[in-house]
Structure 1
């Protein structure tokens, strides 16, 4: 058995890691005139091979291409993250820009080995190399500021309304413990398929090198790969897990459970923070022929514009839900379908349960900031939960002039 305890510190909570954020002038100044944080770094005192997941978008950004060509399989101890510019669709020059920036970094700090770069922001613009390189003068690896992890999480934001970070301590029955910390960004262009989504996870657990990638993939299936804000997959989606083993402690069940909690929390925070969103909705599909069909139906619901706008209008229009399931391609029929808003059943095996009282109860459910829509197909054992949000006017306002 084990105990999982929330702690402070974000990615800096585990032993041997330090992250901070600085200003490179990539973002406009804050309303008070102060420079905005827009470059972050994550430094490990130990060199290690990170476990990774990347976007399946065929147009992968230059930092991902650089990692796959020059870093994959090697040990590293540093990640550099910039916002406002995705360095995607920039061809060979984009990759060379990454090489130039990281070369300048290692010249200034010789203890940095095989640094990794990660970018987020506007697609189709070249990196402002000089500004990013100039920001290195602000890097302080000895400061160990108490709120440095918060500055790092803030620096990687683009359209995010709030920073996303978490840290947990896992205590085993024998008294031994390890920590996991994480920070992430993402609010728009969110539908990862391993959005713009970046996640950086640190741990001092002694994770076996041959297990980390598998566990990361398994945890992503029900977290980052189960969310959608707008149905668009980014060119830059990346998840990095850095494990230095400093605690000397590892228990697979405990580690996996804590990692699931962290990734689920960050993933749902991304949906909650979806550009212009006001509601977080869990779309639970059960009774499908198999899990793949449950996934298909659940993701169809998260991406349906008609469903999303009904949620925004707090309208329990269950007909849109039924129509979306029927159009998703999964096996289903009216006689076995059951639809509920939280515990309020509105359609049950061919019977409409939508009198005035039930409609009012379902509408009350939809006024909540977070609720669940359950669709039981009544055919098999397939089950999956996907997370989505509503779609309102604010999303259009944000994305109509995103480059400005």
Structure 2
């Protein structure tokens, strides 16, 4: 048996990890825009990246390292994605790291922001060389990686595997727009002192991805820079596989839910539960179709329990389904049941009350099997257009 409980603080509360954020001149408003994570011992590292075919330069730079490399330094900038910058984008990262005054090993670069602009190397270098690598300023880092985020995103857990033996795991992340299954426009940095074997790290990440970051959608767009990075310094000397896998899943779930709730201008965070589908793949297809549908999202924004949009989206997803077996509910309010419309004035009022909540479920019982999948999404309103219409300028 093991116990997992949340604790206050940022990733720098884990022994051997340091971090901070500063203003390096990338954001014109003076907010933090450059941050770092440093470890006083070399860490095993694993990552999962976007499936976008046009991966940004930092991702290509990471993947050029030899398999199984260790690192002790991650440099993160906002405002500039260093994407669609070709070989020059990678060369700029190499030039930047070559000029660092800090003694670091196999440094990793991570960037977020506007696509299609050269990396401002001199500004970033000046900022990075001013870092105090003994800093414990998780809040500063969390602010430095934000773009359109309304708030910082972080969590921490302690995992007790037996009395007197525990490890910690935590994360800091950013993400609010360009959020779509197969990752999102997001960065997530996870640190742990668990003595996790290198061979368990990638499987643990991939297992958790399926029901966390790959299950969320804000706007149906997938970015070029999406990264989930896991760093393990192993200082606790403690490890239990089942406990680690579950704690990592909880950390990633927390970050994913914060991203959905912070969807640019979003007011509603909604779980789309598809149950009793013929196969898990069909359940996933329908759930993600619902979380991505613009018509569904605008109905959520208008607090309109328009179950016709739900049914239409399921049908359009081309899964195995029938009106005669379909049941649609908003939380526990059933509006359509196996071919019968239950949507009278009383039921509509009850469903409308559900849609006024900040969080709720839309449950779609397909009635074709036993498979299920839950995707997570949010509403889409005027603020989203306002933010993204002038994002570059």
Is TM-score (shorter-chain normalized) higher than 0.5?
A: yes
CA contact (8 A) 1:170 1:258 kept: yes
Aligned equivalent of 1:238: 227
Pairing partner for 1:109 from 87, 98, 102 = 102
Aligned equivalent of 2:202: 213
Classify the secondary structure of the residue corresponding to 2:198: coil
CA contact (8 A) 2:324 2:338 kept: yes
Classify the secondary structure of the residue corresponding to 2:388: helix
What CA deviation, in whole Å up to 9, does each residue of 1:38-83 have, x standing for no partner?
0010001111230110011000000001111135531111100000
Q: Distance in 2 between matches of 1:348 and 1:163?
A: 41
Q: Distance in 2 between matches of 1:4 and 1:13?
A: 16
Q: Distance in 2 between matches of 1:10 and 1:281?
A: 27
Q: Distance in 2 between matches of 1:85 and 1:352?
A: 50
Aligned equivalent of 1:93: 88
Structure 2 CA distance for partners of 1:71 and 1:157, relative to 1, 3 Å: farther
CA contact (8 A) 2:159 2:243 kept: yes
Q: Distance in 1 between matches of 2:375 and 2:166?
A: 32
Q: Distance in 1 between matches of 2:256 and 2:43?
A: 25
Classify the secondary structure of the residue corresponding to 1:154: helix
Deviation at 1:381, TM superposition (A): 1.2
Aligned equivalent of 2:65: 70
Q: Name the count of aligned residue pairs.
A: 393
Which structure 2 residues correspond to residues 5-404 of structure 1 after superposition, within 5 A? 5-29=5-29, 35-70=30-65, 72-105=67-100, 108-110=101-103, 112-144=104-136, 148-193=137-182, 195-404=184-393
Q: Distance in 2 between matches of 1:226 and 1:365?
A: 22
Classify the secondary structure of the residue corresponding to 2:148: coil
Q: Distance in 2 between matches of 1:173 and 1:283?
A: 37
Any gaps of 5 or more consecutive residues in structure 2?
Answer: none
Once the two structures are overlaid, the 10-residue window that deviates more, 376-385 or 167-176, is 167-176
Instruction: Report the TM-score when normalising by structure 2.
Output: 0.98
Instruction: Report the TM-score when normalising by structure 1.
Output: 0.96
Deviation at 1:294, TM superposition (A): 0.5
Deviation at 1:172, TM superposition (A): 2.2
Deviation at 1:99, TM superposition (A): 0.8
Structure 2 CA distance for partners of 1:194 and 1:229, relative to 1, 3 Å: closer
Q: Distance in 2 between matches of 1:14 and 1:143?
A: 13
CA contact (8 A) 1:55 1:192 kept: no
CA contact (8 A) 2:190 2:229 kept: yes
Deviation at 1:192, TM superposition (A): 4.2
Q: Distance in 1 between matches of 2:20 and 2:298?
A: 38
Aligned equivalent of 1:32: none
Tell me the C-alpha RMSD between the 2 structures.
Answer: 1.0
Deviation at 1:136, TM superposition (A): 2.1
Q: Distance in 2 between matches of 1:400 and 1:119?
A: 21
Classify the secondary structure of the residue corresponding to 2:60: helix
Once the two structures are overlaid, the 10-residue window that deviates more, 118-127 or 42-51, is 42-51
Classify the secondary structure of the residue corresponding to 2:99: helix
Classify the secondary structure of the residue corresponding to 1:346: strand
Once the two structures are overlaid, the 10-residue window that deviates more, 301-310 or 46-55, is 46-55
Q: Which runs of 4+ in 1 moved over 6 A?
A: none
CA contact (8 A) 1:43 1:78 kept: yes
CA contact (8 A) 1:166 1:181 kept: yes
Q: Distance in 2 between matches of 1:252 and 1:142?
A: 31
Deviation at 1:276, TM superposition (A): 1.1
Any gaps of 5 or more consecutive residues in structure 1?
Answer: 30-34
